[in-house]
Structure 1
Amino acid sequence: MIATSCRFASVMALYVKAADILEKAERKQGALKTLVYDSRFENIKQLFALVCEAQKFSSILQQLIDSTKLLKQTRLRPHLAKVLVYDLLMGQGLKCGGAWKVMMMKHRSRLQAALARMKIKQNVSRNEDLLPANVQRAAGDRLPRYVRVNTLKTTVEDVVDYFKRDGLSYQGQAARLDDFTLKEAEFARDQHLPEVLVFSPKTDFHDHFLYKAGHIILQDKASCLPAYLLNPPPGRHIIDACAAPGNKTSHLAAIMKNKGKLFAFDLDAKRLATMSTLLLRAGVTCQQLANQDFLKVDPDSAQYKDVEYVLLDPSCSGSGMVCLRDNTSADQEKDQARLASLASFQLRCLNHGLRFPRLKRLVYSTCSIHRQENEDVITACLQQNPGFRLVPLLAQWPERGLEPLTQCLRAGTTTTRTHGFFVALLEKHIEAENMKQDRDVEMSVPEATAAHGPPASETPEASKTPKPSVTPEPSKMPTPSVTPEASVTPEASETPDASEMPDASETEDNPTPAPQLQGSDSTPGMKKRRKRNKKKKKKAATTVE
């Protein structure tokens, strides 16, 4: 009896939570997937499925509720009524008991009659046929189930063997998109990402041993692109700027082989706590998690002085997610204002990420299909940061960034059989970096000259008046042979000119340039130049005499 009561309470909590998330999603208060994840509901999969379906049929459900005057007769909240009506008429039936079930069963006949009238009016037989054409296309996009093998704990070959022993039929490596049309007991290896396996859409791994043990990660193929393309070498320092829920973080750690430092930031403490559990299950040990706004991280802090790679996947509209596509409101002006606000935030994050002094590469990604959040953000960033340029990505990838940014990648349900996605890889421009270093060297020359004093022949007085007129009395003037040595300190005489200094780019990755200055190739030349400089200074002193 107690167990039954607990089950009913859990189901009622499911409906309440689903109604709350549905309301926030329809009010554009967050991406649906993010809202579901933030809820920390015990059965995320069940909650996500219910909310997605209720949102897909939202307009149909609203018509049914209005035509039967359900809200007036039940006093239910509008969004709670939607999820209850969905499960009653289109789902697997109400799972709750008690007063809610009694109430909904009382109105079931009238709701079913209203639904039947709608089908007759539109001359359709299925519930899905009542949906608008654009929503039907989205519903028809049955994406494969993607699984990323966690190489921190196992190998692709071992996982393939495990699934084969489980009775699944391995189809080998896919060669084209049509190979992703798999039967229920079939799976294949992806043709672009070697650690990704592809299964039929209905394959469920939430209760599978490999998933629970952290050997496989349930992650869409497109979501695997950022870490794969950034490809940081083991032992380096990397930042995952907006890290939760942590799938990309665990992917970075696997590529790094858990060697180096992986700084992961997220502003939401709950999401970060859940992420910590996920990383623990995945065997990640190189992470340093911080409950912090990435925009407030100081790039000049000594803690991040060795950061060379950044993965930036900022908050976005989520318009690429299949269950959210074409989910625009009637208020186009409001939608555009929201996109503009998101794009402004994304550009700020991108500009901030490029400020880390030793940065080599930054990968930027969104699960959005809107140009404002993708190509437009990258274009504005490149204009503001001329020291960086785009890296051409995966020549064999079927969908490119919109013109002229074809170096970037896009993903979509029809072209790549994934959720909608965008990826761009920026790297520091070597020529621009050399120009910056040259300017730094030029700026350092006057400082060095001022510290040691100008040569006697270049003093302001010498340049304005005849030399004899500025010569001290013979009794006070040192002998000419000593003058060159007297005008330059011994330390300065041993310091080469700016033209003899090594190029700044040679010392960028090596803070100790002494070995380069003392190499066998450079030392004789430097000594000869020093001797020539000394002869010139002696000759100048003789002229003064």
Structure 2
Amino acid sequence: MAPPPPTKKGNVARNHRISSRNGAERSAYFARREAAGVLRRVLQDDAARRATASIKSLVYSPSVRNKKATFALVCQTLKCLPIIKDVLVATQILNSKWKEIAMAGAVEKFLTLHKNKLEYALAKICARRKVKKIEDLLQNNCVPVASKPRYIRINTLKVDAEVVMQELGKTNIMVSRDDIIPDVLSLASGLDLHDHPLVRNGSILLQGKASSMVAVALNPIPGWKVLDACAAPGNKTAHLAALMKGQGKIIACELNEDRLKTLEETIRRSGAPNVDVVHCDFLDINTRDPLFKEVRAILLDPSCSGSGISAERLDHLLPSYEKGEDAAACKSDRVKKLAAFQTKALLHALSFPAVERVVYSTCSVYQTENEDVIKSVLPFAKSLNFELVTPFPQWPHRGLPVFEGAEHLLRTDPKEDTEGFFIALFVKKSGKTNRGSRLSSAKKLTRQKRYTPYPFCKLSAFWFHKRLTKQGSKKIKH
């Protein structure tokens, strides 16, 4: 008996199912493409040991459309990467033609043709390791990550805390206000707000508690000219603008072109009216340039190892990650080079003629990038009448006691409820005693060798710092 002819209603339902299936397949296809692009960047940077962006920042960039699916694919692929490599080696399908296939963009089709061979190799690996399924293979590659609250910062340029708490409450999101930073809210761990309307319109920023402490420590006065020396991705810049109530001027410097775009997007979304983004190297700034000679406060958050946010960055998923490697990493050539750059940048920040407050911060837990940098610049800072001041006196974790005055420094503990951050606050004293001492030292050094005294360029500042350090052990003769 022939089946009944399809009705109009049946055709509509069938077309809807086909359309939905095609839409889902198309979405999955683009998610795979986007995940492949993120993975390529992550693995290339990791192989070169130059992680310029974290997994999360790459996935949640404006260019990625299907963020949730892309993030899941990237994380799962990185978790399975050792097993994937073993399977590919066992099948030996990556032959001489592989590069041609990859160049042609037919990789997914090629792997699908070899699906049976790949599954057979995986089954043999499971049998050899005496496990029944792939999840059991992954157990050895898993690194437990402590559950921490999700922090967000309210953008007071657009909205106040009560409005945000009411909006989040409508979706049954439990919210509590932070007892240290009024504009920071604490939410449940693992909550994904990247697509929330308040995030998309810039009313709230997905910024950690420790990161939010940096701009507050600088405490710029509305109307000042402020410099954010290494500004991307821009969360701290936007926070400065909010603290200054949109008044005065903030100059946000960034050298990297890709990060510059992220910075510009963050500022645009935040609605900050008083930020000028400058594409330049902070170290190349002439401190006497009319654009910079009236800068009163500087936020310096330079490139660092990121060791304090390795869990948030998902570094444990990277091929280069090794358990217990911190002891060696803190003494690595990379960290030493970073510390040399950080020292040079801090010396330069302190040498701006009108600057009164300088905050130095890192998202590192290594002494090399933190206390050691501060200790090395202290003689120079004191010669310019700067002193270390205690930010957030009620905060329990202070600097490592490696020099007198380290108790003024601030650390946050990544094992507790924040990222691992370090903050040092330099404030210029109003008296003139140290200034006279500094000028006297400069004259002595100038008479000895015909160097140019203050004002300093970045090289003369570095030279002067070294000369002052030597004076502590050897008196200069005239």
TM-score by length of structure 2 reads 0.73
Q: Does 1:28 align with 2:19?
A: no
By how many angstroms is 1:342 displaced? 0.7
Contact residue 124 and residue 130 of structure 1 kept, 8 A: no
> For the structure 1 residues 438 and 418, does the alpha-carbon distance in structure 2 shift closer, same or farther, using more than 3 Å as the test?
closer
**2:117 & 2:54 partners in 1: Cα distance?**
33
Equivalent residue runs for 1:328-407 within 5 Å: 336-386=332-382, 387-404=385-402, 405-407=406-408
1:50-71 per-residue CA deviation (whole Å, 9 max, x = no partner) reads 5555556655554555455564
Paired position in structure 2 for 1:449: none
Alignment-mate amino acid for residue 203 of structure 2: H
Contact residue 299 and residue 356 of structure 1 kept, 8 A: yes
Q: State the structure with more CA Rg.
A: 1
Paired position in structure 2 for 1:424: 424
Contact residue 258 and residue 286 of structure 1 kept, 8 A: yes
Paired position in structure 1 for 2:64: 42
Aligned length: 402
**1:284 & 1:254 partners in 2: Cα distance?**
7
Paired position in structure 2 for 1:153: 158
Alignment-mate amino acid for residue 110 of structure 1: A
**1:148 & 1:374 partners in 2: Cα distance?**
25
Identify the range of structure 1 (247-256 vs 417-426) with the bigger mean alpha-carbon deviation: 417-426
Unmatched 5+ stretches in structure 1: 81-95, 169-185, 444-545
Paired position in structure 2 for 1:108: 119
> For the structure 1 residues 295 and 308, does the alpha-carbon distance in structure 2 shift closer, same or farther, using more than 3 Å as the test?
same
**1:112 & 1:400 partners in 2: Cα distance?**
52
By how many angstroms is 1:268 displaced? 1.8
1:316-371 per-residue CA deviation (whole Å, 9 max, x = no partner) reads 11122212269369895997111111111111111111111111111111111211
Contact residue 22 and residue 55 of structure 1 kept, 8 A: no
1:85-105 per-residue CA deviation (whole Å, 9 max, x = no partner) reads xxxxxxxxxxx9644444456
> For the structure 1 residues 313 and 52, does the alpha-carbon distance in structure 2 shift closer, same or farther, using more than 3 Å as the test?
farther
Equivalent residue runs for 1:321-332 within 5 Å: 321=309, 322=311, 323-324=314-315, 327=321
**2:281 & 2:226 partners in 1: Cα distance?**
16
Paired position in structure 2 for 1:509: none
Q: Does 1:11 align with 2:11?
A: no
By how many angstroms is 1:44 displaced? 8.5
**2:148 & 2:366 partners in 1: Cα distance?**
21
The DSSP-based 3-state class of the residue aligned with 2:152 is: strand
Paired position in structure 1 for 2:217: 229
Paired position in structure 2 for 1:320: 308
**1:411 & 1:303 partners in 2: Cα distance?**
34
**2:427 & 2:66 partners in 1: Cα distance?**
37
1:140-178 per-residue CA deviation (whole Å, 9 max, x = no partner) reads 21222111011001111111112222333xxxxxxxxxx
**1:383 & 1:365 partners in 2: Cα distance?**
19
Alignment-mate amino acid for residue 145 of structure 1: R
Q: Does 1:281 align with 2:289?
A: no
Paired position in structure 2 for 1:163: 168
Paired position in structure 1 for 2:410: 409
1:496-520 per-residue CA deviation (whole Å, 9 max, x = no partner) reads xxxxxxxxxxxxxxxxxxxxxxxxx
By how many angstroms is 1:228 displaced? 1.3
Identify the range of structure 1 (328-337 vs 235-244) with the bigger mean alpha-carbon deviation: 328-337
1:121-153 per-residue CA deviation (whole Å, 9 max, x = no partner) reads 9x997455313xxx62xx321222111011001
Alignment-mate amino acid for residue 24 of structure 1: D
Contact residue 154 and residue 164 of structure 2 kept, 8 A: yes
By how many angstroms is 1:281 displaced? 1.5
Paired position in structure 2 for 1:130: 140
By how many angstroms is 1:240 displaced? 0.4
> For the structure 1 residues 400 and 128, does the alpha-carbon distance in structure 2 shift closer, same or farther, using more than 3 Å as the test?
farther
Root-mean-square deviation (CA), in Å? 3.7
> For the structure 1 residues 256 and 101, does the alpha-carbon distance in structure 2 shift closer, same or farther, using more than 3 Å as the test?
farther
**1:439 & 1:364 partners in 2: Cα distance?**
22
By how many angstroms is 1:277 displaced? 2.2
**1:31 & 1:108 partners in 2: Cα distance?**
35
> For the structure 1 residues 392 and 35, does the alpha-carbon distance in structure 2 shift closer, same or farther, using more than 3 Å as the test?
same
Contact residue 389 and residue 426 of structure 2 kept, 8 A: yes
Q: Does 1:293 align with 2:286?
A: no
**1:318 & 1:346 partners in 2: Cα distance?**
13
1:416-449 per-residue CA deviation (whole Å, 9 max, x = no partner) reads x122221111112445x433258879x9xxxxxx
**1:268 & 1:422 partners in 2: Cα distance?**
23
> For the structure 1 residues 334 and 406, does the alpha-carbon distance in structure 2 shift closer, same or farther, using more than 3 Å as the test?
closer
By how many angstroms is 1:74 displaced? 8.9
**1:44 & 1:228 partners in 2: Cα distance?**
34
Alignment-mate amino acid for residue 45 of structure 2: K
Unmatched 5+ stretches in structure 2: 1-18, 443-478
**2:341 & 2:80 partners in 1: Cα distance?**
32
1:15-41 per-residue CA deviation (whole Å, 9 max, x = no partner) reads 143133223213302244189549864
**2:428 & 2:189 partners in 1: Cα distance?**
40
**1:69 & 1:412 partners in 2: Cα distance?**
46
The DSSP-based 3-state class of the residue aligned with 2:364 is: coil
TM-score by length of structure 1 reads 0.65
**2:130 & 2:322 partners in 1: Cα distance?**
25
User: Highest relative contact order (Cα 8 Å, sep 6+), 1 or 2?
Assistant: 2
By how many angstroms is 1:309 displaced? 0.7
Contact residue 68 and residue 114 of structure 1 kept, 8 A: no
Paired position in structure 1 for 2:240: 252
By how many angstroms is 1:285 displaced? 0.7
**2:330 & 2:243 partners in 1: Cα distance?**
41
> For the structure 1 residues 429 and 281, does the alpha-carbon distance in structure 2 shift closer, same or farther, using more than 3 Å as the test?
same
Percent of aligned pairs with the same amino acid: 34
Identify the range of structure 1 (23-32 vs 241-250) with the bigger mean alpha-carbon deviation: 23-32
Alignment-mate amino acid for residue 327 of structure 1: Y
By how many angstroms is 1:389 displaced? 2.2
The DSSP-based 3-state class of the residue aligned with 1:202 is: coil
Which of 292, 296, 307 matches 1:308? 296
Structure 1 runs (4+) deviating above 6 angstroms are: 438-441
By how many angstroms is 1:14 displaced? 2.2
